[in-house]
């Protein structure tokens, strides 16, 4: 929808939930409660892999205040994970990672529930532990899911068996011939560990079951309609008997897209007849939820003497952990991001998700992309330096432009890669004299999608002239709903955004939305809000036309009045129209939007759930670092992000999303790593799991590039995920520029840099 934007768009207006948040009145999931509420806790396995021989809950049930203790025997047939049903709600015959739930307790107090969990007696028989992808793929590897062939699997997924969850592949062109004739061939391997979303608020939910058996869930969740479907699929409850209401969300980043605490609350509430609340501790978040997958990436790239990229062969093995969750979608993303936003004559890429005895992995802001881009962009710098070509010039030479084809054959339009490259390079003074001893500069280029799928909205006008936007979209802290969509809707109605009320994210009262995921909310929910506002205005104009004795097409609305376009004196106030509409049962505009699918060469991919990037956006990251030769410590001196957002709806929150994403990406590049020993997480807290602080991160210099899309509201594109993808590669390339040594493993710690400075083959 590329109509001219109203004057509310492009301004940094305040978000509608801002006042409640800064004053502490905003209710997050951790704050919510229900009368008569019980507290739940989960007893978890101490083993990474073991058979369960027996479970004894006698002592746990004897704890004063304990109402019920459930085990795997009570939850037979309750299987989770959206695309491969491989995860029992409570372990029955075996556990597959340390921290897997084996019993669920509901009690009058948290303390009683915790005491009961400690008294659940489980007899285990340890099994061989698969700690890495390499071990999982060995010919003699223990199969973590011996019954995998019996699981329900989404039809598009390819499952070859063994410890492979899913396998996707991309084939375009004759790679063999191009490698045979290429002037140069480069081969590299890269390692990326698991990292965590680290939301300040962990998973939390309350469930209540009424006398009719209707389940009402309050949850800090990103996708209420998806959660409702998950609950139905896992617990075999009809959709019509489930209502999900989203509480305030204290951070999600993709980690709250799937069922987590909610099914446990429901089964305990069903058994006790009381509301039940479950809140994960920080340690539970770190050991037993859904972090970003680790990955091993192997690349082989054919290049002409002038730096023209010819063909790429790539393999990514993602560490899925013990269960599948979102891994089939992640392997699909790997196909598209490992190629990068460049022109290729041929591609051959394989991506797999592999079971290991670690907590099952899930979605995390641009899932699957940082691992692939770290590898691809790092190898590009190697190619540039070994061919004696400036890394910026190499990228400009191979960058996609309008009309070029993406990795799977989609035709690319409104392409902004060159604009972002030039903007970032200019800001970082790329062509200035050398940075100096142990100082370096680095670049990385990325592209990302604006996820489609349906959004719907209602816009209601009450009898007093108040406008209410009713949307299924979830506000997860980005401002996408309470600033961006609100500005779009208010602009279409000709009112100040502060005068708009919002009701959102409740499956019982709001229309369907595909959820806060994939950088989609502003675009898809914004388009739905435009359609709903237009429908409402049409009704208002019909009422006003009948009252004024003119045609509806002759009317316009602004400043609280509906006027005749040729006779401004012929007018009616919006309040008068509201009262007239109230006598007819009220006025309600309805709107829906679903992004048309992006055409691509379907024959080029197999086993992929995502075949193309909708409304793709492009970005370039540039940074400058200094390295301490005595300690190996890397200091990030400058950081620049030039990102195409299509059309800026709210500059403040666009910049906030870009800045926040870049900081999280810097964390993955330089600090963060979930350390496992035999499947056990060794750093399950914010003391030992190092997150970047203000002292670690320079001011993020943000450049918002506007190359409008054809279908986003006024040309907008997705914003939220893009910025997290580029930092690992940009920083690795800057460190290589400073030291002369390649970086092929994250995070880029002082110890690893120090070892690399002391000679090849010593880096850990």
DSSP symbol at 582: H
Kindly report the number of other CB atoms within 10 A of residue 368's CB atom: 30
**Would you say residue 568 has pLDDT above 90?**
no
What whole-number distance in Å separates Cα of residue 456 and Cα of residue 309? 43
Residue 8 and residue 490 in contact, taking contact as beta carbons nearer than 8 Å:
yes
Instruction: Give the residue carrying structure tokens 């939301």.
Output: 199
Domains of the chain from N-terminus onward: 29-127+203-279 (3.90.1170.50), 294-450+610-757 (3.30.365.10), 452-593 (3.30.365.10)
Encode pLDDT of 460-506 as tens digits: 999 889 999 999 999 999 999 999 999 999 999 999 999 999 999 99
Residues 372-391 have a mean pLDDT of 98
Q: How many whole angstroms separate alpha carbon 705 and alpha carbon 522? A: 17
Report the 10 Å Cβ neighbour count for 432.
8
C-beta of residue 444 within 8 angstroms of C-beta of residue 373: yes
> Which residue has 């006779």 as its token pair?
567
pLDDT of 114-154, one tens digit each? 999 999 999 999 999 999 999 999 999 999 999 999 999 99
pLDDT over threshold 80, residue 761: no
- The two tokens of residue 728 are 């690992």
Instruction: Give the span between the Cα atoms of 309 and 182, in whole angstroms.
Output: 10
3-class SS letters over 308-339: CEEEEEEEEEEEEECCCCCHHHHHHHHHHHHH
Closest CA to 278 of 79, 37, 73, 484: 37
Q: How many whole angstroms separate alpha carbon 316 and alpha carbon 171?
A: 15
Q: What is the mean pLDDT of residues 212-226?
A: 98
Question: Tokens at residue 128, please?
Answer: 């061989």
Please, which pLDDT band fits residue 763 given cuts at 50, 70 and 90? very low
With a pLDDT cut of 90, the percent of the chain lying above it is 95
Do strands 500-504 and 467-471 pair parallel, antiparallel, or not at all (unpaired)?
Answer: parallel
Q: Residues 612, 452: contact at Cβ < 8 Å?
A: no
Q: How far apart are the C-alpha atoms of 258 and 746, rounded to whole Å?
A: 27
Confidence at residue 1, expressed as pLDDT on a 0 to 100 scale:
45
The string of pLDDT tens digits covering residues 395-423 is 999 999 999 999 999 999 999 999 999 99
DSSP letters spanning 554-616:
GEEEETTEEEESS-TTSEEEHHHHHHHHHTTT-EEEEEEE-PPPPP--GGGEES-S--S-SS-
- pLDDT tens by residue, 659-677: 999 999 999 999 999 999 9
Radius of gyration in angstroms for the set of CA atoms belonging to the chain, rounded to a whole number: 27
pLDDT at 2: 56
Give φ, ψ of 700 to 5 degrees.
-85, 115
State how far the Cα of 297 lies from the Cα of 300, in Å rounded to an integer.
10
pTM above 0.85, yes or no: yes
């Amino acid at each position: 929808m590329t109509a001219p934007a109203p004057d509310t768009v492009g301004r940094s207006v305040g978000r509608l939930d801002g006042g409640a948040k800064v004053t502490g009145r905003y209710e997050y999931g951790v704050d919510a409660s229900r009368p008569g509420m019980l507290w739940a806790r989960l007893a978890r396995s101490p083993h990474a892999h073991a058979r369960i021989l027996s479970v004894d809950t006698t002592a746990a049930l004897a704890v004063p205040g304990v109402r019920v203790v459930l085990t795997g025997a009570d939850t037979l047939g309750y299987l989770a994970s959206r695309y491969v049903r491989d995860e029992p709600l409570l372990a029955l015959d075996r556990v597959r990672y340390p921290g897997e739930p084996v019993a669920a307790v509901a009690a009058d107090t948290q303390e009683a529930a915790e005491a009961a969990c400690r008294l659940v007696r489980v007899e285990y028989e340890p099994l061989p532990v698969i700690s890495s992808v390499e071990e999982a793929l060995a010919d003699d590897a223990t199969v973590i899911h011996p019954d995998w062939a019996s699981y329900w699997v989404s039809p598009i997924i390819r499952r070859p068996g063994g410890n492979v969850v899913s396998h996707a592949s991309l084939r375009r062109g004759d790679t063999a011939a191009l490698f045979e004739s290429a002037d140069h061939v480069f081969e590299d391997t890269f390692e990326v560990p698991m990292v965590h979303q680290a939301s300040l608020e962990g998973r939390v939910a309350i469930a209540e079951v009424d006398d009719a058996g209707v389940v009402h869930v309050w949850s800090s969740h990103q996708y209420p309609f998806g959660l409702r479907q998950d609950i139905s699929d896992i617990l075999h409850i009809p959709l019509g008997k489930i209502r999900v209401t989203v509480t305030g969300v204290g951070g999600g980043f993709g980690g709250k897209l799937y069922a987590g605490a909610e099914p446990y609350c429901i089964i305990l509430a069903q058994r006790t007849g009381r509301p039940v609340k479950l809140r994960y501790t920080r340690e539970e978040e770190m050991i037993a939820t859904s972090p970003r997958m680790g990955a091993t990436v192997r690349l082989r790239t054919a290049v002409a003497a002038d730096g023209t990229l010819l063909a790429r062969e790539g393999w990514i093995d993602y560490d899925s952990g013990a269960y599948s969750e979102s891994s089939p979608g992640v392997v699909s993303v790997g196909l598209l991001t490992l190629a990068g936003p460049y022109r290729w004559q041929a591609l051959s890429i394989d991506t797999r998700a592999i079971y290991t005895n670690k907590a099952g992995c899930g979605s995390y802001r641009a899932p699957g992309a940082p691992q692939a881009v770290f590898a691809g962009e790092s190898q590009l710098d190697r190619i540039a330096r070994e061919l004696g070509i400036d890394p910026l010039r190499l990228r400009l030479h191979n960058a996609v432009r309008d009309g070029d084809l993406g990795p799977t054959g989609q035709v690319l339009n409104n392409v902004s890669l060159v604009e972002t490259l030039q903007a970032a390079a200019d800001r970082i003074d790329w062509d200035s004299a050398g940075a100096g001893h142990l100082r370096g500069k680095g670049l990385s280029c990325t592209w990302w999608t604006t996820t489609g799928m349906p959004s719907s909205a209602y816009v209601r006008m009450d009898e007093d002239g108040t406008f209410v936007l009713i949307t299924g979209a979830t506000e997860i802290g980005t401002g996408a709903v309470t600033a961006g969509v609100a500005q779009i809707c208010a602009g279409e109605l000709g009112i100040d955004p502060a005068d708009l009320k919002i009701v959102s994210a409740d499956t019982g009262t709001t229309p369907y939305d595909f959820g806060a995921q994939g950088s989609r909310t502003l675009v898809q929910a914004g388009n739905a809000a435009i359609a709903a506002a237009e429908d409402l205005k049409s009704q208002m104009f019909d009422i006003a036309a009948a009252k004024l004795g003119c045609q509806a097409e002759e009317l316009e609305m602004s400043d609280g009045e509906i006027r005749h376009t040729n006779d401004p004196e012929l007018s009616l106030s919006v309040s008068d129209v509201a009262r007239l509409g109230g006598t007819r049962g009220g006025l309600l505009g309805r709107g829906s939007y679903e992004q048309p699918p992006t055409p691509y060469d379907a024959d080029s991919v197999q086993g992929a759930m995502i075949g193309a990037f909708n409304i793709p956006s492009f970005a370039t990251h540039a940074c400058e670092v200094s390295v301490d030769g005595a300690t190996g410590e890397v200091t990030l001196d400058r950081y620049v992000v030039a990102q195409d957002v299509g059309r800026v709806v709210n500059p403040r929150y666009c910049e906030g999303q870009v800045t926040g994403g870049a900081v999280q990406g810097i964390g993955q590049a330089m600090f963060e790593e979930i350390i496992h020993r035999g499947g056990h997480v060794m750093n399950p807290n914010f003391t030992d799991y190092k997150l970047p602080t203000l002292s670690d991160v320079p001011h993020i210099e943000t450049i918002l590039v506007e190359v409008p899309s054809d279908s986003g509201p006024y040309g907008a594109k997705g914003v939220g995920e893009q910025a997290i993808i580029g930092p690992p590669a940009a920083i690795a390339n800057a460190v290589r520029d400073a030291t002369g040594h390649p970086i092929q493993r994250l995070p880029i710690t002082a110890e690893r840099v120090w070892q690399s400075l002391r000679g090849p083959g010593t880096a850990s």
